[in-house]
């Protein structure tokens, strides 16, 4: 899997009215996989997992201050498990209805270079 991120933000302090603008551009690449207990129709228990590494370019500009640019990067991983119940199927056999309770845990270890303004 691969991804691209782009975000722009601004904030205004309620305490003093100062403003700051920020931007982030980044890329990620990773892998994923899923195990199904019933491979015939993907019902029953399943476990899915994915992991990715990401790289970001960050910039923040405070009101009346010079712009600060810094990098951030890191690893993110997730595991999910659940159970897929088939509730029914349409008469034409082309549509099925499912319920899938599940739980997931995600860990993110993206860290930024040191910067201060």
- The pLDDT tens digits for 30-64 are 999 999 999 888 899 999 999 999 999 999 999 88
What does pTM read for this prediction?
Answer: 0.75
Task: Name, in order, each residue with C-beta under 8 angstroms of 115's C-beta and a sequence gap of 6 or more.
Answer: 68, 70
pLDDT of residue 116: 67
How would you label 2-24 residue by residue, b for 16+ Cβ within 10 Å and e otherwise? Answer: eeeeeeeeeeeeeeeeeebeebe
pLDDT of residue 93: 78
- Which stretches in the chain have pLDDT values below 50? none
Which residue is listed with tokens 């933000």?
A: 9
């Amino acid at each position: 899997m691969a991804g691209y991120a782009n975000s722009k933000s601004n904030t205004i302090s309620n305490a003093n009215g100062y403003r700051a603008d920020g931007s982030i551009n980044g890329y990620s690449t990773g892998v994923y996989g899923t195990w199904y207990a019933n491979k015939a129709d993907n019902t029953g228990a399943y476990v899915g997992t994915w992991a990715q590494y990401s790289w970001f370019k960050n910039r923040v500009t405070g009101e009346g201050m010079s712009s600060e640019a810094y990098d951030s990067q890191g690893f993110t991983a997730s595991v999910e498990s659940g159970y897929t119940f088939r509730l029914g199927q349409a008469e034409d056999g082309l549509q099925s209805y499912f319920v899938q309770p599940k739980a997931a845990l995600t860990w993110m270890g993206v860290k930024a270079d040191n910067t201060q303004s």
